[in-house]
Structure formats: C-alpha cells, structure tokens
Amino acid sequence: MVSRVSLSHQRRNASSSKPRFSKHNPYLSSHGHSGAIPEPSSPSSTYAPSRPKRLVVGVTGATGTVFAIRLLEILRELGVETHVVMSKWALATGKYETPMLDADVRQLATHSYSPRDLSAPIASGSFVHDGMLVVPCSMKTLAAVRTGYCDDLISRAADVCLKEDRRLLLAVRETPLSDVHLDNMLHLRRAGAVIFPPVPAFYTRPKSLDDIITQSVGRMLDSFGIHTDGFERWDGFDWKSKQMS
Ligand SMILES: Cc1cc2nc3c(=O)[nH]c(=O)nc-3n(C[C@H](O)[C@H](O)[C@H](O)COP(=O)(O)O)c2cc1C
C-alpha cells in the first residue's frame, strides 16, 4: 500500500481565513480577492469586460493526482476561476493515491466537466481563458495533443490552446521515457507548449512530500505569471553562514 499524502486543504482552511499565496499575485488587489484582471489602458479595452483570471485544468491518469489537488487548492485561494476536467483514468488513479473523493476534487473547481463532453465551453476557441495546465499529463494524452487526435475534452481543450496561441503547460509524468515520449514532448515544445515534468528541487531542502508538491505547483504557476509565496525560492548561496568559497 502506498503511504497517503497529507492534503492540507481542510487544515489550511480551518487554521486561517487569509490566503497564504496572495502576496505576490499581481491579480489580487490589496483590498480584496476578486481576482479581477486590471483593465488594460489600450483603446481596445473599451470592449474588454473585466473578468477573473480563468484557467483550464486537465487531470489525466498518470500518477500524481496530488499535484492537481494542490494546484486547485492554491487557485481557489487566489480567486482564480478554474475549469476542470478529470479523465476516467485520473479518477481511477486518484482513488488509489489520495483520500479525497472525486466530489471533493470537483468542489475545489469553479466549473467541472465530463471528459466526454465535447460541447463544453472550453472545447471552443471562442471561450476566452488565460491558459491550460494538464497536471499530471499521461503519455497517452501527450500523444493525443501531439497528433491533434482529440476525441476527449482534455486533449481537445489543449489543442484549442495551441491553435489560439494560449499558454499550455503539460506536467508530463512517466519514467523512463521512450523515444516516442521524448519526440512527442519536443514536438509540442516547438509548437509552443511548456513541458513541465514535476521533478523535485532539493536546493529548497524540502521537509516533506507536501513541500515538494507545493514547490512544483508554485513553479508551474510561475509560467502563468502567478507568483505565489507558499514555497522557498532560490536566493543565492548563503556564503557567510555556509563558509563557502
Ligand atoms: C496506478 C497507475 C499509474 C499510472 N501512471 C502513469 C504515468 O505515470 N504515466 C503515464 O503516462 N501513464 C500512467 N498510467 C497509465 C494511464 O492511466 C493510461 O495510459 C491511461 O490510458 C491514460 O489516459 P488519460 O490520459 O485519458 O488519463 C498509470 C495507470 C495506473 C493505473
């Protein structure tokens, strides 16, 4: 039996009503947490309604559902509108990997859809949003996006991001990687996607699996201009205390 990861959603909500992640978030004003994007000053803004930052999150059946849960917890705290799709295999692996139920994960989302619903708003380029993260991203979904064979909502929404030139981050997870996997990643990187295997950084001296998950998710959000302060960032060597030369 795999050991259970401690999920801090309930704990954090119970212990503090203040968002831990708001400090450096450019989308949150100091007066509240509406998440509204400031109006651009260009003349075209006359027709651009103010709306919250809006992200699409696809969760597939690679191991690592905990990354998606932490991502949704943080986005919820930040007041970011989320549109979430979980694949059939994400639900299967999720049940095994976390104590949270499908319904608990969906509760973290603003909107959630069935992966079979190709009529959902996020299946169309005319539904405007600020990008998509597939966390974790299986090799199957990677291959679907690479080939443009998109017969489920996750791969379709990712395909839409590419065609609309929107940010697409794929938290690819497999090991070891075959020629096919690597070739698919390189192809999609060249098509504009961010290839983001959730590989831990140890220079932050993580004390727990929780720290590792939060750091990885924080770095994913950096890609979307959402800079959270819930994890340690590298600030150079501490030459004096470590007496390095
Ligand atoms: C416990 C478990 C762990 C898995 N881990 C991975 C993984 O890390 N990477 C991967 O590409 N597939 C993994 N798979 C296989 C995918 O779930 C499978 O390829 C599935 O078809 C992916 O479909 P989806 O992309 O629609 O979720 C795993 C399956 C199970 C049951």
- The model's pLDDT over 93-118, given as tens digits with 9 standing for 90+, comes to 999 999 888 888 899 999 999 999 99
Q: What are the distances in angstroms from CA 101 to CA 16, 66, 75, 88?
A: 23, 12, 19, 14
pLDDT bin (cut points 50, 70, 90) of residue 44 is low
pLDDT bin (cut points 50, 70, 90) of residue 187 is very high
User: Whole-model pTM?
Assistant: 0.84
Integer Cα distance of 134 and 201 in angstroms:
20
Q: pLDDT at residue 47 above 90? A: no
| DSSP notation for 29-63 | -TT----BPPPP-SGGGGG----B-EEEEEE-SSS
- Look up residue 125 and give its two tokens: 């380029």
Binding region for FMN: 61-63, 87, 138-141, 173
**pLDDT attached to residue 145:** 98
CATH classification number, 51-234, choose in 3.30.499.10, 1.10.10.60, 3.40.50.1950, 3.30.870.10: 3.40.50.1950
**Which of helix, strand or coil describes residue 106?**
helix
Q: Do you find a cis peptide bond into 136, omega within 30 degrees of 0?
A: yes
**pLDDT attached to residue 21:** 52
Q: Which amino acid is at 35?
A: G
Domain ranges of the chain: 51-234
Average pLDDT, the chain: 84
Q: What percent of the chain has pLDDT over 90?
A: 67
- The model's pLDDT over 192-217, given as tens digits with 9 standing for 90+, comes to 999 999 999 999 899 999 999 999 99
| Nearest Cα to Cα of residue 33 among 20, 46, 49, 47 | 20
Ligand 1 center–CA 138 separation, angstroms: 6
Ligand 1 center–CA 19 separation, angstroms: 33
pLDDT bin (cut points 50, 70, 90) of residue 20 is low
Report the pocket of ligand 1 as residue ranges, CB < 6 Å: 60-63, 87, 89-90, 92-93, 96, 138-141, 173-174
Q: Are 115 and 82 in contact (CB under 8 A)?
A: no
